[in-house]
Structure 1
Amino acid sequence: MEKGSTEKKLVGIFDSGVGGLSVLREIQALLPTQPLYYIGDQAHVPYGKRQPAEIRRFSFAMTRYLLDAGAGLIVVACNTASAVALKDLRQEFPDVPFVGMEPALKPATQQTHNKVVGVLATPATFQGELYNTLVEKFAQDVKILTSTLPGMVEAIEAGRLDTPQTRAILEEAIMPMLAQGADTLVLGCTHFPFALPLIRQITGPDVNVIDPAPAIARRTHALLQEHHLLNPDGNSVSLQFATSGDLNVFNASIVNLLHLQAQPMQLVWDASGNKIQREG
């Protein structure tokens, strides 16, 4: 297939669940005519507690599925999968442009006035080589506070964006950071931006909260342009959604989080967890 053909202008996006929809939302806003295909691996959510080998296996399988579906660029819209698998994905698929997630430590360290930054992410993200490299590179003179927000991904998956329980999870993580002088918070998990209104209620207006999704959309645009994959034809635009979890629950999340009506597809994993495919 010729590079730059209509099929290869499809952007494949995957995450452990619905969190990456926050990234898709920004990509679609910036590139409204670009065809997008999103996979939420809800059969295995959350990734943050899983072993690296599992996360790599799932990431490779979803990448292959999206490439077979015609994707010309892959967005790993999951901080955990990016931390664990992105380097290996680029080595395995050297001709495919990838966009990955990383905690926005560079802008955070540039924007903080108090030199205290809070980072909210999953355990696997904090344990990854990418995060530690970013800390060494950009945060030498900045105090970094971290929290894994136990239960937060599950709350977002369940649609509990603003409940007393969700607020309690956030307050337990954020209030000690504010008490130590944090004036900038980094959202290091793609699920967390869906709770941004509640987070800002807790932090107040003087704390800068960084959502990385707009920067990921800009990077996606740049790579599509570089590889001649931009789609200017609005007549061929399409949004496709698929999940390995409960189809009705996933569809409700699309309506709730994106305010879109969709007909998501059901995906199933084989027994080994090495291949994902459409049901039937």
Structure 2
Amino acid sequence: MTISPPSAERGQQLLQRLEQFTTRNDGQVAVARRLLADHPDLPLFGFAISRTIEPEPGKPAHSLILCVGEYNTDAITAWASALGAELVIDGARHTLSTAIDGIGIWASAVVHDDVYDIEGSVFTPTPDDVTCTYRGLLVTSLGEDGTLLIVGHPPARDVLAATSAYYRGTCGQRLRPFGGNNLADSIGRSWGRFIAYPNRRDWQLQPCWENTPGAMPVTWMYTEEGATQDLGDVEHCPTCGRPSRGLAYSPMNGQRVHVCPSPACRHQWPVTDSPSLTSSKEHS
């Protein structure tokens, strides 16, 4: 195990950095000082803090996170032993969680993928491993741009239907083509292996060839190429009578408006009790 114990000077620097956090709790600093004094030979490169607004019953609201290195699982084992804490091993992730004087203590590290049994971590996903299912299709949202991953190579109409259901049910939005693009053109198909690394809960998708052991067909829906529109209660267009749930903001006064979905109409009318953004700014 690589040991990098903080010297007295280094320990003081760690405390000073911790004290600079404006959201810290005094108990966090006291516990940090105690840990440095009681366990000077254990690896520690820094502290982080966290606060839970509504902690679970019996759980601390303020916690101190021990930074020992992303891949230093030996350090997690050493700290768990020293603190009498339970060492939890979930796949490649090693975690300890305990409390001292009402302050939570938490640390985590993962076994490096170079020495981890990646081949033994290949798995077939189930509904428990994805964001949602739609007509038997396993659908997962990836990243911050709204890209969807669908297990299998279903027809484009099923991909679009699943995408629509996801955005309506999960996001409360309608996805529409943007800039003349066809949403079907945003569909991509490939092959990949689902890897339970660092664990099954935080799995990764490894691109591969079709004949790779454990390979599965996957479909990508690159939804960043579409435009989203918020959904509200069903209203009927006062001009053409078509039902609509589409919401937008008027470019004239910033007021929330309904939008008729008919391409031949596109009439907009105010949402009841929707204040104008312009007027609210004037009186703020």
TM-score (norm 1): 0.20
TM-score (norm 2): 0.20
Q: Name the structure, 1 or 2, with higher relative contact order (CA <8 Å, separation 6+).
A: 1
> Of Structure 1 and Structure 2, which has the larger fraction of its residues in strand?
2
> Of Structure 1 and Structure 2, which has the larger fraction of its residues in helix?
1
